[in-house]
Structure 1
Amino acid sequence: MFKSTLLALAASLTLAAAAAAAQAAPEQIDLLTENFPPYNMAADGKNFARDENIKGIATDIIREMFQRAGVDYTLTLRFPWERIYKMALETPGYGVFVTARLPEREALFRWVGPIGPDDWVLLARADSAIELNSLEQARQYRVGAYKGDAIGEHLVAQGLQPALALRDQTNVEKLQNGAIDLWATGDPAGRFLAKQQGVNGLKRVLRFDSAELFLALNKQVSDETVEKLQAALDQMRADGTVNTITGRYL
């Protein structure tokens, strides 16, 4: 009887110690991103990269933020956006960046930011004669957008029917060859992406909305981790680090 009690007590203490150790263990976040220059991009321009082979404004901010917060992380760039967004949404310990913090997404993630601005614009070729005063006027034109992106979703919600591409680079090509009249994208991201494709001088026809870009974390990420990261980012903005990083790319 006494021996059984001791064994039960020992087992109980072992379980309690294991639970305490697990609780005390630092939380690691597996971060996912995509090619979305100048905020995040693979150094070789491909659709898969890991860790130091990823660069960009948001990537550099994220690295510094996690270092200051003392939070462990991994960093992977994958394709397509819909896949990595879904992984962060459904998988504990994951996060995705950068993404627009919209009312319909508010309850889906834990948010850290803002990391940067994103004007939502319609771009046309430099020689285009198109002039618009409202998004409603764009209905008569062929509009291209990026599948799974907040901008494309916004256009659909407004009753437009954009042609959705799996890669935003495809929209640069379609605009240049006349397959679409307007490209719905972010600014400065769209212009930077076009420049990488060798396309300059695109005409900004309309700015129809804007959003702030954030790091979106799975809802099971702890309050402590979120608070550490937000405090680190706030400190970086206050001491000028965010502006310094942005200046490297723009």
Structure 2
Amino acid sequence: MMPKFAFYIMVLLLAQCAVAKGPNLVWFTEDYPPFNYHVNGQVEGIAIQALKLVYRDLGWKLDDNEVMLLPWPRAYQMTLSNNNACIFSMTYTEERARLFQFIGPTMDNHVAIIGHKETDYHLPNLRSIGDLKIGVVKNDIGHQLLRQLGVDKESLVFLASGFELVQMLKLKRIDLIAYGDVIARYQFKRAGINPKHYRIVMPLRSSYLGFACNKAIDKRIIDKMNDALKVIRGRQPEIFDPEYFYSQTE
């Protein structure tokens, strides 16, 4: 029979191995460049680089199979309904903070209504939308902000991704889009569209992007990741700069 002291030592070593391997988390994300997107079957971008550094600094192992790229509405619901799930990149709002535990900030994010420069749309307030149609991705921050501000569902056109938003805007199938301005700029370039032809018609919210986790996850894990991310931001601030990212990928 194993002595009691030796048994406790074995349990302690197993626990330490489990910590070293990392928490049992599943990560959901979407096509949201330059923060997260698919390249040759792998998720790339600013956010996944930051997440890998957090895991590395904590001595945890991040398996590529633990990161799944899905359409945003599905990823959002999967994170809410799974006790070990997290999602990125998510714009912080007080409303979302009641649903998720946030790790961040990683990047600033300015959400706006965007339209073509040639149009003469003027929106002093959202009551002046009239017959204009605004493209959104369901449960994306642009959609949630417009809903909170009382925009009728009839004024919204739901599309699957930011890439579709900019394409439909170019084709004039929609009049405007509600989206993060940095991400929209990248999506324009990705679609072969000159972003200089578009303008911010109305700012909606300035906040930050981060990682968001299910409320059931141990807060000590969230705190460790927040502390590690803060150290990384101080040590390597350039990796969180979209302009630096563009210079490395162009």
Partner of 1:215: 211
**CA offsets 1:191-239 (integer angstroms, 9 cap, x no match):** 1111100111212212122221110122232233222211111111222
Q: 1:18 to 1:216 in 2, by over 3 A?
A: farther
The CA deviation at 1:165 is: 0.9
- The answer to whether structure 1 residue 244 and structure 2 residue 233 are counterparts is no
* SS in structure 2 of the partner of residue 73 of structure 1: coil
Q: 1:168 aligns with which of 162, 177, 180?
A: 162
Contact 1:99 1:216 in 2 (8 A): yes
CA RMSD of aligned residues (A): 2.7
- 1:73-103 CA distance string (max 9 Å, x none): 3342422112122222222322110112222
SS of 1:122's equivalent? strand
Asked if the contact 1:94/1:217 (under 8 Å) is kept, the reply is yes
Q: Take 1:19 and 1:150, find their aligned partners in 2: how far apart are those partners?
A: 44
Distance 2:96 2:183 in 1: 21
**2:188 corresponding residue in structure 1:** 194
Equivalent AA in structure 2 for residue 42 of structure 1: H
Q: How many residues align?
A: 233
Identify unmatched segments of 5+ residues in structure 1. Answer: 1-5
Asked if 1:73 corresponds to 2:62, the answer is yes
For the residues of structure 2 that align with 1:42 and 1:20, how far apart are their CA atoms?
39
Deviation at 1:18, TM superposition (A): 9.4
| Corresponding residue of 1:3 | none
The amino acid across from 1:191 in the alignment is R
Equivalence for 1:147: 138
Residue matched to 2:46: 57
SS in 2 for 1:215: strand
What is the deviation of 1:140?
4.0
1:20 and 1:83 map into 2 onto residues whose CA distance is: 39
* CA displacement, residues 130-185 of structure 1 (integer Å, 9 cap, x when unaligned): 23333333344111111121210221222213111122222212211211111111
Q: Distance in 2 between matches of 1:107 and 1:159?
A: 20
Structure 1 residues 132 and 107: CA distance shift in structure 2, 3 A? closer
Cα displacement (A) at 1:28: 3.0
Question: Could you tell me which amino acid in structure 1 is paired with residue 29 of structure 2?
Answer: T
Q: Which amino acid aligns with 2:207?
A: A
Structure-to-structure mapping, 1:23-62, within 5 angstroms: 24=16, 25-26=18-19, 27-44=23-40, 49=41, 53-62=42-51
Q: Could you say which residue in structure 2 is the equivalent of 1:157? A: 148
Pick the aligned partner of 1:91 from 82, 95, 119. 82
Letter in 1 for 2:159: A
Matched, 1:106 2:103: no
State, as a whole percentage, how many aligned pairs show the same letter: 23
Structure 1 residue 245: Cα displacement: 4.3
Contact 2:106 2:240 (C-alpha < 8 Å) held by counterparts: no
Which letter does structure 1 place at the counterpart of 2:84?
Answer: G
Counterpart Cα distance in 1 of 2:9 and 2:239: 45
- Deviation string 1:102-144 (CA, Å, 9 cap, x unpaired) is 2222132221101111111111123222233333333441111
1:180 to 162, 174, 179: 174
Letter in 1 for 2:60: V
Given that residues 113 and 213 in structure 1 are in contact (C-alpha distance below 8 angstroms), is that contact kept between their aligned partners in structure 2?
A: yes
**Aligned in 2, Cα 1:118/1:18: closer, same or farther, shift over 3 Å?**
same
Structure 2: how far apart are the matches of 1:229 and 1:219? 15
- Aligned partners of 1:139 and 1:70: how far apart in 2? 54
- Native 8 Å contact 1:42 1:77 kept in 2: no
Larger Rg: 1
Q: What CA distance in whole angstroms lies between the structure 2 residues aligned with 1:248 and 1:124?
A: 25
